[in-house]
A and B are shown apart, each in its own frame.
Chain A
């Protein structure tokens, strides 16, 4: 009996499984004819991870933050065409500054309701401010509230922010981050990170959470209490989790997904040939760079070890300056050499080859869509000029081995990148080829995340190829001031000068936008001259859509921001519950 049961059991299981009811995962179903986009229907968006939290003040993931921006309201919405500069009404229908700009008054919508039916009032705004500034929570954005003294509520529909001084980013600071309900106040702030908020969500947005299946998907449904509920497009939005980009792309090609937020160049090429798909290229706030280490590699780590800094120590900007003076990098301390390296890299070729033109060469770490960006001609690919600069700096190939040298030291650089980022790996390999052509020998280091983070922040490499996703604030001081190099900070190359520090301080403390713009302009000119980083490109993003989905151009700040404005063609099987 045992001998016959096993195969029979397996066959029966298989037969039952195949005969089981179908659903949207049936790849063999014939496509129904597409009708014009209209309200209703279901949109399926690929995601690569679960939300790590359900409040804006406990998440550490940008993908989760994007989702939470749909569920919780901000006072105003940033205009993607002019981020950080122009805003449109959202929870606040209007706002105004007092004459001395020390008070910012928001008039809230009277029809804004939380998903539990209670009205959204100034009490929620004030509560949110208290949470944001509570040290027990330790929200990283609390620094943006330092110049806000408090929030007053003269009426339930009016919120007044009091500032200690006037400065350009007041509206940005007041608007950072979304408003959460006063009802969350029954949980002590210190317990927020451990609280299972998904069991008790109270939201206010075009969508609310209908279902959350960890490791599988999050389903959003229209919130009928939202102030513009009639204008909402899809009935449901499913954020379907895939283990990796490749399997998500495969599902997209198969027609199981409506939206694929991000694809590689090869995937873009493939998707562009599929008649049922379309791809939109949008700018992003991300850029890729090579940070040059201006301090001798390992000198920083050795100095910290000498001062017993394994678990933090009293490191100061003076320590960094001391290292810059006493242990300059034998090759990269020279701005002329850094310029030569920049001129050796064909960044236009990188943009065309790796990004199919969907990226932008830049020489500034302030993103081109931000108000403070200074448009200046980018350094052109000029290997002849690069060779000349290297010759002048004394780097000459004396032994004919193809690599330049000086005083017996070869012009050899260890440049590292994170191995888990294929595009950056490709970029670095191309950069290495370009530099080799002018006599610079590059050792490409592809490091796992832990090793990369440890060594990059210890400044153990000669160069680090990495990227940042910037926000809409202009904050180069967080990356380039001497203070940003202290204690393994994000100033990866350890570069700074008194002039740069002074300009960064002027820009970050300016009381008017004009004053700030002057400082940032001067600083960007200095940056372009000194080239502590070779900025490679501002990258765009390809977003794939099924042709069933019709809507506005994707918002570069948050793809999910316009979910409610999408329209979906109706297909019977896709919309089946």
Chain B
């Protein structure tokens, strides 16, 4: 356990340092005067000096490490607010979208896989090919198609924002959640379906299944008790790997739907060379990845042993 924690911390630290170096290596200046004729080079230099950006990279990194160890994530250049505050405002929205997408994608994906599994082989192949096409389609394309059909053509659902102008109740918020959730979960469900189907097919040929068949168990009993339950273990591991989306956000979907999550914020931060915010968001994502992986590993042995018993 201690070793796991140590490895996790080291991973997060390495990700943070890498993000810091990468952010500074990328071209861009948060204080360029492109849009401001009244701002002189002196103004820009004074601002950089005030923020310590004129110091050597190693000194800047040391300051960042010290701040992080004290729980301070710095101040966003672009938004001029503490990074922790920006993350606190945006993470819940990304988490909401992520949870909705995961709760939709996994059951949907497993259901599709089951359906394909019981189909005749020819239909299964066609269905699998369709799932492949959907899983590889760009999320942007799916998002735009959903907007075109459900918003512009049918007029059923709103295309932007997390809530209507006047606020509205739970129902109004849910309506705004539908399209971005669908955009995220449809390709994810297709991926899960293909993955799960492959596992089903592998389990069908397993020794314990053949033994059950030989012992006279019916197809439904075999499916439920001997194929389905052990097949869900790898999917749980997949879920652990997908958990980081709750905090990393879905950049494309959040941009298309004007969803106020962290993904859109991070993209703006990177484009604007807002180092503190980009670094803070990357670090939070790294923590989520490590936790997700740890959770997946922790869950897997328990489920396996229950399945065997």
Contact = CB atoms under 8 A, between A and B. Distances in A.
A62 B271 CA distance: 19
Contact of B264 (A138, A215, A217): A215
Q: Which of A10, A42, A240, A489 has the most CB of B within 10 A?
A: A10
A487 B42 contact: yes
B265 interface: yes
Given A216-B162, A484-B40, A487-B42, A7 B108 contact: yes
Contacts of B37: 468-470, 475, 478-479, 490
Nearest to A28: B155
Contacts of B169: 20-21
A243 interface: yes
A243 B143 CA distance: 14
Nearest to B264: A215
Interface string B273-301: 10000000000000000000000000000
B89 A418 contact: no
Contacts of B107: 2, 5-6, 9-10
Contacts of B161: 25, 216-217, 240
Contacts of A214: 86, 89-90, 260
A129 to B, nearest CB: 19
A17 B170 CA distance: 9
A346 B29 CA distance: 35
B256 interface: yes
Most chain B beta-carbon neighbours within 10 Å: one of A5, A42, A449: A449
B80 A21 contact: no
Interface residues of B, number: 79
B165 interface: yes
Interface stretch (B9-17, B130-138, B174-182, B208-216): B174-182
Nearest to B155: A28
B38 A475 contact: yes
Given A25-B164, A487-B41, A18 B260 contact: no
A43 to B, nearest CB: 11
Contacts of A22: 172
B249 to A, nearest CB: 11
Contact of B168 (A4, A23, A213, A449): A23
Interface in B143-200: 151, 155-172, 174-178, 181
B129 interface: no
Contacts of B86: 214
Nearest to A315: B41
Contact of B260 (A14, A216, A471): A216
A138 B50 contact: yes
A3 interface: yes
B63 interface: no
A140 B75 contact: no
B81 interface: yes
A24 B161 CA distance: 12
A27 B151 contact: yes
A17 B166 contact: no
Interface string B76-113: 00111110011001100100000000011011111110
B158 A25 contact: yes
B33 interface: yes
B90 A23 contact: no
A22 B90 CA distance: 25
Contacts of B81: 194, 196
Contacts of A141: 38
A247 B164 contact: no
B28 interface: yes
A50 interface: yes
A217 B165 contact: yes
Nearest to A217: B165
A9 B207 CA distance: 34
A2 B111 contact: yes
Contacts of B112: 6
Contact of A6 (B54, B82, B89, B110): B110
Contacts of A250: 159
A311 B39 CA distance: 18
A6 B38 contact: no
A449 B171 CA distance: 41
Given A9-B103, A489-B40, A194 B162 contact: no
A17 B256 contact: no
B90 A215 contact: yes
A242 interface: yes
Interface stretch (A154-162, A373-381, A450-458): A450-458
B228 interface: yes
Interface string B221-239: 0000000100000000000
A13 interface: yes
Nearest to A22: B172
B155 A27 contact: yes
A28 B35 CA distance: 40
A247 B257 CA distance: 9
A247 B160 contact: yes
B201 interface: no
Nearest to A191: B75
Contact of A486 (B33, B41, B171): B41
A58 B151 CA distance: 39
A196 B172 CA distance: 29
A19 B243 CA distance: 30
A451 to B, nearest CB: 6
A543 interface: no
A26 B165 CA distance: 11
A193 interface: yes
Interface in A25-47: 25-28, 42, 44
B255 interface: yes
Contacts of B45: 312, 487
Nearest to A3: B114
A139 to B, nearest CB: 9
A577 B164 CA distance: 10
B67 interface: no
A558 interface: no
B46 interface: yes
Contacts of A448: 27
A452 B172 CA distance: 43
10 contacts: A17-B175, A18-B157, A20-B169, A23-B165, A25-B165, A27-B155, A240-B161, A247-B160, A454-B27, A484-B40
Given A196-B82, A213-B163, A453-B29, 16 more contacts: A2-B110, A6-B104, A6-B112, A17-B174, A21-B168, A21-B171, A25-B158, A216-B258, A216-B260, A238-B165, A250-B159, A448-B27, A449-B28, A470-B37, A478-B40, A490-B40
Sorted nearest first, the 5 A-B pairs with minimum C-beta distance are A20-B171, A215-B260, A6-B107, A6-B111, A23-B164
Interface of A: 2-7, 9-10, 13-14, 16-28, 42, 44, 50, 52-53, 58-60, 62, 138, 140-141, 193-194, 196, 213-217, 238, 240-243, 247, 250-251, 256, 311-312, 418, 448-454, 457, 466, 468-471, 475, 478-479, 484, 486-490, 576-577
Interface of B: 26-29, 32-43, 45-47, 50, 54, 75, 78-82, 85-86, 89-90, 93, 103-104, 106-112, 114-115, 151, 155-172, 174-178, 181, 228, 255-256, 258-261, 264-265, 271, 273
